[in-house]
């Protein structure tokens, strides 16, 4: 990790002038030893300098954070208008629907005023579910959950009011209008969120972030935030313990030590402060830091010591008068595992029958375009460390294994896995199959016999397992999957450390809802073909 000590005068590092475009910044950086490297999707450089926080010179204080957050109110207003339109469309369609209530009878239509009332009621329900608050926006699962809460609240309110005051409500209107408004709202928010993520990847709508902690933790968190830039965090510097020796080469600026966090936030008008576990920042000091940040516009993020455990396993509970973080055991046995196995096998059976014509077509193409068998069998390590034979459509020449030794030096993998973007052993048809992961379809048969799951960690080779550390053996608590977090997070582009972290995260946080989310995102990853070679 390379860090550079920032000069006291920000102007000696970089100078920027204010831009009115989207509340962003227009940069005019000076050349010098500490000028940041160009932005990009470069991997392996976790402390790439962005220095957006260094944009506000003396005399502009109080305007940086406000300008960078100005887009939020416009975004929320756009959401509000979109929600009204979605509810209006649902109301119009619900008003025009007729439902039979009996032989030869039609349900009474909803009154005309219901078309006007529903959009208003829908917005009120969304306000009650707090779906317009910044902290619940831009994160897909939580934002969608808030929309569902609003729909349930509105349905319950309509039912209660109609019963209490004995108002006859056209059932066709309720059954059609509210679910349709919910579906349209979810689709609209998904579209707007995707647009926002694209803009953030281009460097717009970002909030400057200061990392506080030790060198290793700062490097890891910066790499993660840089990888998932669409979340909106632009890391611009860090504060390290005073005893840390500053680097002397280009990298993430060290803007101060742990005693100077507030001064750094005020001087550079930082939007977000992310604090990692540190012995120097104990309870009283961390509490004081939170109080001091209340005098600024900066948000505070605290990274727990166990960062890979999230979701329903983590709850804050009062213990002996203190709010302590309670971590539940991962549910890897019992009814939930039986449910997962049943869902896996049923879905695999249906998918096999559905894709049977595709199976036959691919088999014919593979057999007719290159010498060798249609299927490729390879020994992988599954649940509890038991080996099994994994099936794939053959995408390489027959003697691929024999030719691998000559290509080891040209590997573009992560040090453990062998990968080449232009592997000469891959056939032309195989390259197309790999790009869209169609070569993985025969693994549905592995799911049917119980060796694999639809979603799980990547099935490793025995020689990879020999190099595993203690953490990686935890992946054997569950079955390997046809797809998983590795599939939607970059596949072959992942570093070895990222692969370890992702597999452990899945095991620690497994749930059926988590599996469904991964399956949904797998569709996008397959169509993009990113990291597939």
Between CA 395 and CA 411 the distance in angstroms is 18
Q: What letter does residue 396 receive in the DSSP assignment?
A: B
- CATH number assigned to the domain comprising residue 295: 3.40.50.20
Query: Can you tell me which residue has the tokens 């000091």?
Result: 285
Shared-domain flag, residues 445 and 472: yes
DSSP bridge pairs for 319: 322
Shared-domain flag, residues 126 and 216: no
pLDDT for residue 271 is more than 50 = yes
| Tokens read off for 168 | 């006859």
The verdict on residue 31 lying in a domain is yes
pLDDT for residue 264 is more than 80 = yes
pLDDT at 490: 64
- The pLDDT tens digits of the residues spanning 293-314 come to 988 889 999 887 665 555 566 7
The verdict on residue 341 lying in a domain is yes
Shared-domain flag, residues 298 and 381: no
**Percent of the chain scored above 70 by pLDDT?**
75
pLDDT at 520: 84
Shared-domain flag, residues 127 and 222: no
Question: Of 159, 178, 200, which residue constitutes the final position of a domain?
Answer: 200
Between CA 455 and CA 483 the distance in angstroms is 5
Total-model pTM:
0.66
The verdict on residue 177 lying in a domain is yes
Shared-domain flag, residues 484 and 354: yes
pLDDT for residue 7 is more than 60 = no
Shared-domain flag, residues 185 and 225: no
Query: Is the Cβ–Cβ distance between 272 and 233 less than 8 Å?
Result: yes
pLDDT for residue 14 is more than 70 = no
More confident residue, 461 or 31: 461
Distance of CA 472 to the CA centre of its chain: 22
Q: Which has the closest alpha carbon to 228: 206, 245, 247?
A: 206
- The pLDDT tens digits of the residues spanning 332-381 come to 777 888 888 999 999 999 999 999 999 999 999 998 888 889 999 999 99
Residue 342 domain boundaries: 335-528
pLDDT at 98: 59
- The pLDDT tens digits of the residues spanning 149-196 come to 999 999 888 888 877 777 666 676 788 889 999 999 999 999 999 899
Query: Is the Cβ–Cβ distance between 14 and 35 less than 8 Å?
Result: yes
Helices (H), 305-427: 335-354, 356-369, 400-403
pLDDT at 307: 58
Shared-domain flag, residues 122 and 192: yes
Burial 487-499, CB ≥16 within 10 A → b, else e: bbbbbbbbbeebb
The verdict on residue 273 lying in a domain is yes
Torsion over CA: 257, 259, 260, 261 (sign): positive
Between CA 397 and CA 395 the distance in angstroms is 7
pLDDT at 109: 58
Shared-domain flag, residues 254 and 349: no
* Span of 99-103, 116-120, 215-219, 474-478 with lowest mean pLDDT: 99-103
Shared-domain flag, residues 24 and 106: no
Q: Which has the closest alpha carbon to 393: 372, 421, 422, 418?
A: 372
Within 183-232, strands assigned E span 207-212
The verdict on residue 420 lying in a domain is yes
Question: Of 200, 218, 237, which residue constitutes the final position of a domain?
Answer: 200
* 64-80 mean pLDDT: 88
Provide the pLDDT confidence category of residue 397 given band limits of 50, 70 and 90.
Answer: confident
pLDDT at 243: 56
* 102-121 mean pLDDT: 67
The number of domains in the chain is: 3
Contacts of 235 (CB under 8 A, 6+ apart): 50, 209, 210, 211, 221, 222, 225, 226, 252
pLDDT for residue 470 is more than 90 = no
pLDDT for residue 53 is more than 70 = no
Write down the mean pLDDT value for the chain.
77
* 481-510 mean pLDDT: 77
Q: Find which of 72-86, 113-127, 475-489 is predicted with most confidence, using mean pLDDT.
A: 72-86
H or E stretch including 240? strand 233-240
In this structure, the chain runs to a length of 533
* 84-102 mean pLDDT: 78
Shared-domain flag, residues 77 and 169: yes
How many beta carbons lie within 10 A of that of residue 312, not counting itself? 11
* Span of 144-158, 232-246, 492-506 with lowest mean pLDDT: 492-506
pLDDT for residue 77 is more than 70 = yes
Between CA 265 and CA 295 the distance in angstroms is 11
Shared-domain flag, residues 100 and 113: yes
Question: Of 292, 327, 362, which residue constitutes the final position of a domain?
Answer: 327
| Integer CA distances (angstroms), 78 to 120, 126, 288, 379, in order | 16, 14, 37, 53
pLDDT at 21: 35
The verdict on residue 380 lying in a domain is yes
Shared-domain flag, residues 12 and 93: no
The verdict on residue 533 lying in a domain is no
The verdict on residue 416 lying in a domain is yes
* Span of 62-71, 291-300, 429-438 with lowest mean pLDDT: 62-71
Q: Find which of 126-130, 136-140, 315-319 is predicted with most confidence, using mean pLDDT.
A: 126-130
Provide the pLDDT confidence category of residue 11 given band limits of 50, 70 and 90.
Answer: very low
């Amino acid at each position: 990790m390379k860090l550079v000590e920032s000069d006291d005068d920000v102007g000696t590092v970089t100078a920027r002038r204010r831009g009115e475009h989207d509340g962003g910044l227009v940069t005019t950086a000076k050349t010098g030893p500490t000028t940041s490297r160009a932005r990009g999707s470069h991997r392996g450089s976790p402390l790439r300098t962005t220095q957006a926080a260094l944009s506000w010179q003396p005399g502009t204080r109080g305007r940086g954070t406000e300008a960078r957050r100005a887009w939020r109110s416009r975004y929320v207003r756009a959401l509000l208008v979109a929600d009204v339109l979605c509810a209006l469309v649902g109301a119009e369609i619900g008003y025009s629907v007729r439902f039979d209530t009996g032989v030869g009878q039609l349900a009474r239509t909803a009154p005309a005023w219901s078309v006007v009332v529903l959009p208003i009621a829908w917005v009120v329900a969304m306000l009650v579910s707090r779906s317009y608050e910044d902290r619940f926006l831009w994160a897909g699962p939580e934002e969608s959950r808030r929309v569902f809460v609003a729909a349930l609240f509105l349905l319950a309110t309509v039912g209660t009011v109609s019963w209490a005051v004995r108002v006859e409500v056209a059932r066709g209107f309720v059954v059609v209008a509210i679910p349709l408004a919910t579906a349209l709202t979810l689709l609209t928010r998904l579209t707007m969120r995707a647009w926002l993520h694209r803009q953030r990847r281009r460097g717009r709508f970002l909030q400057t972030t200061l990392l506080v902690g030790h060198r290793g933790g700062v490097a890891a968190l910066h790499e993660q935030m840089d990888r998932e830039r669409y979340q909106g965090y632009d890391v611009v510097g860090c504060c390290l313990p005073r005893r840390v020796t500053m680097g002397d080469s280009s990298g993430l600026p060290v803007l101060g030590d742990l005693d100077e966090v507030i001064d750094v936030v005020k001087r550079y008008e930082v939007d977000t402060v992310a604090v990692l576990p540190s012995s120097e920042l104990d309870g009283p000091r961390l509490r004081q830091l939170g109080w001091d940040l209340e005098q600024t516009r900066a948000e505070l993020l605290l990274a727990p010591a166990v960062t890979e455990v999230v979701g329903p396993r983590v709850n804050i509970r009062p213990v002996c008068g203190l709010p302590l973080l309670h971590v539940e055991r991962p549910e890897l046995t019992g009814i939930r595992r039986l449910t997962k196995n049943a869902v896996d096998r049923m879905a695999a059976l249906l998918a096999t029958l559905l894709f049977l014509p595709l199976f036959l077509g691919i088999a014919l193409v593979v057999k007719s375009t290159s010498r060798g068998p249609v299927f490729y069998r390879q020994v992988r390590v599954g649940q509890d460390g038991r080996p099994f034979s994994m099936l794939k459509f053959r995408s390489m020449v027959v003697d691929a294994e024999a030719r691998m030794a000559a290509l080891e030096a040209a590997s573009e993998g992560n040090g453990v896995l062998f990968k080449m973007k232009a592997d000469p052993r891959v056939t032309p048809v195989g390259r197309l199959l790999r790009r869209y992961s169609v070569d993985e379809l025969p693994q549905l048969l592995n799911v049917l016999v119980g060796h694999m799951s639809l979603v799980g960690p990547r099935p490793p080779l025995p020689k990879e397992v020999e190099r595993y550390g203690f953490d990686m053996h935890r992946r054997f608590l569950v079955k390997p999957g046809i797809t998983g977090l590795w599939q939607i997070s970059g596949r072959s582009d992942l570093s070895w450390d990222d692969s370890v972290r992702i597999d452990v995260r899945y095991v620690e946080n497994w749930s059926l809802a988590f599996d469904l989310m991964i399956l949904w995102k797998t569709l996008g990853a397959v169509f993009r073909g990113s990291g597939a070679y």
